[in-house]
Structure 1
Amino acid sequence: MSSSPAAPTAAVRVGHEDLVAFTTDVLADRGLPPRRARQSAEALVYGDLAGLTSHGLTNLTRLYLPALDSGHIDATAEPEKVTDTGPAVLLDGRRALGLWAATEALTLAADRAAETGVGLVTMRDGTHVGCAGYHTRRIAEERGAVAILATNCGRQRIARPPGGVAALFGTNPFSIAAPAGDHPPYVLDMSTTVVPTGRVRAAARAGESIPAGWLEDADGWPVTDPHALDAGTGFLRWLGGDRATGAYKGYGLGLMVEVLAALLPGAGTGPAPEALDGDGRPTGRDDDIGITALVLAPDALRPREDYVDQSHGLFTALLDCPPLDPTQPVRYPGWPEWRAAHDNTRHGVPLAPSLAAELAALAEERGITPPAALRGGAAR
C-alpha cells in the first residue's frame, strides 16, 4: 500500500525586530562596527521579510560569513573618496560589506540630489549588495526621490553572450524605485538573466528540479538539474530566452549594467581577455564588484505636490485596470513585496525550518542569544 506524501513542514516565524537584532549580533561578532552591523542586518533580513528568500538569511552562512572570515570582505573598511565633482562621486569600496556600502552610496547620492536635483555615486572594489530593491526602496520612501542601483558581478562569469561559447557575465542586477503617491512605492529589482543564482541554488538545496529555460548546457540545450550551475555544466540564460524570443534584450541589459557599474568606476569586468582562455566554462569569482547609485529629486525640478499627484494617478490607473481573472488583480513591481513585508511584520518573518535550525546552531556555536522562536525550533 502506498503512503501519502508528507505534508510540508510549517515555517518558523520570528519577529522582524528580533531577527534584525540577532543578525546584527552575528555580524558584530564578525567584527562589523555596531551601526554598520545594524544597517547590514536590516538589508539582509529584508529578503525574508519581503519574500525574496534567495537574497535573505540563507546567504548569511553561505556567502557573507565565509567572505568575512576569509578576508574577501573587510568588516571595518571605510570606502575612500577618489573623485568628487559635487553631483558625482567616485569611491573605492575597499571590499567593505556591500549590504552596508550600497546603503551608504545611495544615501550620499540622495544628499547630493537634494542640493542639485541629481546625485551619482559610483564605486569600485565593492562586494555583494544583497537585495538591490531594498536599497532603492528605502530612498523612495524616505526621500521621495527616484533611485537607481546597478551592480555587476565583478569578475564572476556564468552567462554567455547569445551565440557565444565562453561565459562572460554574471547576473548583473539592477533596480529602480520611485514614490507612487499614496500607494506602495514602485520597486523594480531584477537580474538580467532569467533568474538569479540564488533561485537555482535554492532548488538544488531542496532537491528539486528547475524549469526548462533557466539553464542551458554548452550546446544550448535546456538543463533542469540545478546542480549543473555550480558544477560548471549549466549556464544561466538571459531574459527573453532564445535569440528569436528576445534574449538580446536581456543580454543588452546585462551589458548596460556592465557599462554603468564597472566601466564608470573602473571595477572588475566579466568580459575580459582572460575570460576567453580555456573551454568556455564558468570562471572567476565576484571580486571587485562595481556599484553605481543614481538618485533623481523630482521636487528640484517641479513642485513636489504636482509630482505626487501625477504619480498617484499613474499607479492608481494600473491598480484599477480590469483583470482578466478577478482573483488576480493587476499589480506593479514592488507591490507584492510591500504586501509580504506588511504581513510578515505583523505575523513574524517566515523561515524554512532548515534555515531556522542553521541559525540556531550558529547562535550556539558563537555564544549568541537567538530569538525564542529559533531556540524552540517550532512553527509559530
Structure 2
Amino acid sequence: MAKKNIKLYDNVSIFFNSDDEIRFRKGVWNFEEASLGLNELNDDIKEAVMFISKELFDDKLISFDDIVKKFSLNDKDSNFLNDIISSLIGNRFLEYDDKKNNMLNTVYEFIGEYFYDIPDESKVQKNKIMFITDNDRLKEYAKLTSEDLYMNVIMMDIDDIKKIEKANLTDTTDAIENIEEHKELIKLFDDISCIVVSVEKPRLNLLRNINRLLLDKSIPIVISILDGPFLNITTIKGKETGCYECFENRVVARNESLSVYNKFVKQTMNFKYNAKRTYIIPILQTFTSLALYEAFLFASIGKCKLSGRVINVYIPSIEIQIQDLLRVPFCPVCGHISKAKYNEMYTSSKEIIEKFSSKVIIK
C-alpha cells in the first residue's frame, strides 16, 4: 500500500452496530454500506480494525505502516488488513489524503465508477479552458471554481471579446476579407481545449462568430445563457453535434414573426458589458458551475455529458426540460444543404472558361 495517510471519504459515516460489527455508510436515506464483521478475526486484527475505525470516527488520519508497527502484525495479518483497507478505498468508503485523489473523487462524483482512463492532475492542467463572459463578477466566481476543480482556466480579455463580437464572419460577401479576419481571430484560441461561454444576455454576434471560428477545429463550446425567465445550457462540438446556429434556428422556429426578430437583432446587437454586481448574479453563478463541470469532464476524460443536448430551465418554477440538439440541414454553418456542391444542369461554366483560356495567346 502506498505510504500515504488515509481518511474517511466525504459523506461517509461510521457507526458501531455491535461490539463485533462496524458499518461504513454513504448517505442517509439512499445509502451504500460496507459491513465489517469481527467475529472470525483474530485478536490482533480485531484490535487493529477497531482502533482504525475509532480514529476515523474522530476525523483523524491513519497511516497503514504505523498501524502495522503499533500492533506488531505479522506478514499474514498485515496483508489481510491491507486487503480490507484497499477494498474500502476501492469502494469509496476511505480515501488517500492527497490532492490528486481529491480530483479523482470529483470525477467519480460526476460520473460514478464508469471511467477507466484515470486522469492525472498534470493532464487536466495541460488542457487549457477558456472562459468568456460579459460580467466581471462571473470571472471571479469562475476563478474560484476552477481552483476547486484543479482546472487551468484562462479568462478572455474584454478587448478580445469585443473584437470577436464586432467581426462580421457571418457575411461572406467579401470572401477575402472574411478569410483574413477568420485567420486573425482564430489565433486567440491557440492551444485551447475547451471554451466556456456564460453570458447574462444572448450576445448573438459573439456566439455566432465563436461558433464559426471553432467549428473546423472541433473545440467543444459549453454555453450557459440567461434569456428572459429561461436559462439554457448546452455543449456543442463541431462535426459531432448541431452547432450554435442550429440551436438558434430551432429556438427562432417558435417565433411568430421572423422579420421582427431580425429587426430586433440588428438594433440591439451591442449590449453593454456589466462589471457590477446585480440581482441576477447568484442565478448565473449556479449555472456557470454546471458549465465549468462540463469543461472539467472534458479536460479530465475527454467527454461531456451535455454534448448534443440542451437543458432548458424555466427559473420561476424550476421546470426543467432536456432536448436533443439536432443538426439543421439548412444551417449556414454546418448544414448539409448549405455545404453541398451541385453539378450544373446545362452547359458547364467550367468548360466555357477552359475553351476561352485555351485560345488566349500570351506574348
TM-score, normalization by structure 1: 0.25
Greater Rg, structure 1 or structure 2?
2
